[in-house]
């Protein structure tokens, strides 16, 4: 995000904010839809994230990329709304970390890769969604989720391996 646009937004310039919105909204909506699995929640999360960005732009610290800052707010907002709706599925993180299966649910009825991702535990699902939707790097995902870069690397690696395994399974079944 260009510095001059941020400066203009700080002054309350509507056009500058619209410019930011046009640049970020599309991917933000896709990300929120994927994380919340619910269009209405996604809409609220994106709306609230932009409001928070507008009202708190003066607290934005340029040592973090604007994209990482924005998506940190967005992911937090999605999680907050999910918690509020009690739609999050409780998972035992310790169990998940040590379980090669990595799956939150049974693989039954999962017929595509998107379905496989959406059945994964959030600790694998959210980094994968950030990687594939917006093309964030491991470093950027680590910044967004406030995790160590190696943790992100390992979660992406494990998540991707599971997808690979599932893909071969689906291809075999297709034959």
Partner 1 sequence: MDHMDERIKKEIMEHTDDSIDQLKDDIWNQLDQELFQEKSRREKQMKKKSKAIPIIIAAAAGVMILFSTQTDTGMAFIKQIKDIFVPEKEMIQSIEGTEEPTDVVLQEGKDAEYIIYMDEERYKLIKGENADIITTKEPLEERYPEVSMKIEQFKELTPEEIIATKETELASEYSKVTTTEVVTDPVEGYKLHAIDGGTQWDSPVTNVYVVDNKNGGSFVITEKYFLEAAEGHGARFYAMLQEFEIVE
5 binds partner 1 (CB under 8 A): no
How big is the site for partner 1, counted in residues (CB under 8 A)?
A: 51
Name the DSSP class of 120: B
Cα 45 to Cα 91: distance, rounded to the nearest angstrom: 23
Comparing CB distances to partner 1, the nearer of 2 and 83 is: 83
For 136, the 3-state DSSP assignment is coil
Of 135, 137, 132, nearest in space to 159 by CA: 132
CB of 3 to partner 1, least distance (A): 19
Q: Does 51 bind partner 1 (CB under 8 A)?
A: yes
Please enumerate in sequence order all residues whose Cβ is within 8 A of that of 32, keeping only pairs 6 or more positions apart, or say none: 41, 42, 43, 45, 46, 49, 74, 77, 78
Considering beta carbons, is residue 80 or 105 the nearer one to partner 1? 80
Coil, helix or strand at residue 103: strand
Residue 164 touches partner 1, criterion: CB under 8 A? yes
Among residues 23, 54, 103, 149, the one that binds partner 1 under rule CB under 8 A: 54
Between CA 99 and CA 88 the distance in angstroms is: 20
Helices (H), the chain: 3-10, 14-36, 39-56, 66-85, 93-98, 113-118, 122-134, 138-145, 149-174
Q: Which of residues 90-129 bind partner 1 (CB under 8 A)?
A: 93-94, 97, 112-114, 117, 123, 128-129
Among 74, 102, 145, 162, the residue binding partner 1 under the rule CB under 8 A is 145
Residue numbers at the binding site for partner 1 (CB under 8 A): 12, 14, 17-18, 21, 25-26, 29-31, 33-34, 39, 42-43, 46-47, 50-52, 54-56, 59-61, 69, 72-73, 76, 79-80, 93-94, 97, 112-114, 117, 123, 128-129, 132-133, 145-147, 160, 163-164, 167
């Amino acid at each position: 995000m260009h510095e001059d646009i941020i400066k203009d937004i700080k002054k309350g310039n509507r056009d500058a904010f619209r410019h930011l919105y046009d640049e970020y909204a599309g991917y933000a909506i896709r990300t929120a839809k994927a994380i919340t699995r619910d269009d209405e929640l996604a809409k609220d999360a994106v709306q609230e994230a932009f409001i928070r960005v507008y009202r708190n732009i003066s607290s934005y610290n340029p040592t973090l990329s604007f994209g990482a800052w924005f998506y940190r707010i967005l992911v937090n907002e999605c999680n907050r709304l999910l918690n509020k709706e009690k739609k999050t599925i409780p998972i035992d993180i310790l169990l998940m970390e040590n379980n090669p299966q990595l799956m939150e649910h049974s693989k039954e009825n999962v017929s595509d890769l998107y379905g496989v991702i959406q059945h994964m535990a959030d600790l694998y699902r959210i980094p994968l969604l950030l990687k594939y939707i917006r093309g964030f790097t491991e470093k950027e995902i680590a910044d967004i989720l406030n995790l160590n870069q190696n943790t992100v690397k390992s979660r992406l690696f494990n998540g991707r391996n599971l997808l690979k395994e599932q893909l071969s399974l689906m291809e075999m079944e297709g034959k």
